[in-house]
Amino acid sequence: MCLILFLYEAHSDYRLILGANRDEFHERPTAPLSHWHPGRTMPGSGRGPVLSGRDLRGGGTWMGVARDGRFAALTNYRDPSANQNGAPTRGALVTDYLAGRDLPLAYLEKTARTGVPHNGFNLLAGDRNGLFYYSNRGERIQAVAPGIHGLSNRHLDSPWPKVVEGKRALARACSAGPVSTEAILEVLANQERPSDDRLPDTGIGLEWERLLSPVFITSPAYGTRSSSVLLVGRDGEVCFVERTFTPEGDAAGTRRFQFKIPM
C-alpha cells in the first residue's frame, strides 16, 4: 500500500475514518477483499478470520481488520538502495498481527526486537483501545495522537504533496455532513500531479517520482490496484469497502462488508 489517510479519534461518530490506496504492479496476482484464515494451518493459534485483500504471491496483505476490531495496515518505505533481494514478505507483518494474540503495542515491540531483515516498511497496528505506528527505518514506536494523519512511503505525516493534499481533502470530506464512503473514494481518486519542485527525491529518478506523485496512480505496468475505506464507529459498527481498478484506472468492482465488534 502506498497511501493511507485517516482521522483517528477526531470525529463524533467514528473512532477511525480511513481511506487508502494500494499501488502495485498490475501483473502481481491479488485476491479481493474477503474473510479468510491466515492461521488455519495452525489450529488454536489465531483469533478467527480476518477481513482483507490478499497478495497471492507473497501470501500476506497490506491492510485488514479482525472480528474483534483489531486493525493493521502497511506501506513500503521507499529506499531502493537499501532493498535486499530475498527479504521476507512485509505483508506477513499485517496477517501475523491480525491472526495472533498480541496487543498492538506488544506486537510492534516484538517486531522491532526480532531484527528480521525486512525491506523498509511502515506499520500501523491498533485495537479498540489504541493505535500505534512503527517503521523499521529509524522511527521509534509511537502512539498515534488524535487527529488527521497521512502515511505514504516515508514516515508518518512526512509532508509529501499527496499526503498534505490528501489530508486536507479527507478533512473536507468528513466535515460536510454524514461521512460517506463514496466521498472518501473520491478523495482517493485524485490523479493531479504536483509540480516537480514539490516532489521528494527518493533515489528512483524524476520520471518515477512524477509517476508515483498523485494520490491515484495510472500507468500500463504499475498503478493503483484498489482503494479502500474503513469506518469504525463508536458504537462498534465496522464498514469496510474495497474498489478495484483496471490498469487503465477504470473501476472493476466494489465489495462492501459490515459487522459489529463485540463490546
pLDDT of 149-178, one tens digit each? Answer: 999 999 999 999 999 999 999 999 999 789
Whether the per-residue pLDDT at 110 is higher than 60: the answer is: yes
Say yes or no to pLDDT of 45 above 80: no
Cα–Cα–Cα angle for 74, 77, 81, rounded to 5 degrees = 150
Q: How many CB atoms lie within 10 A of CB 262?
A: 9
What CATH code is carried by the domain that includes residue 121?
Answer: 3.60.60.10
Burial of 254 (0-12, 13-18, 19+ CB in 10 A): middle
C-alpha cell at 175: 466535515
CB of 125 closer than 8 Å to CB of 132: yes
**Which among 52, 77, 80, 67 is positioned nearest to 208, based on CA atoms?**
80
Task: Give the count of domains, the chain.
Answer: 1
Average pLDDT rounded to a whole number, residues 118-128: 96
Please tell me whether residue 82 adopts helix, strand or coil conformation: helix
Domain that holds residue 101: 3-260
pTM: 0.95
**Is residue 41's pLDDT more than 70?**
no
Query: Which pairs with CB-CB distance under 8 Å and at least 24 residues apart come from 41-45?
Result: 45/99, 45/100
- From start to end of 47-185, where are the E strands? 50-55, 63-66, 71-76, 121-127, 130-135, 139-143, 147-151
What is the band of 44 on the pLDDT scale with cuts at 50, 70, 90? very low
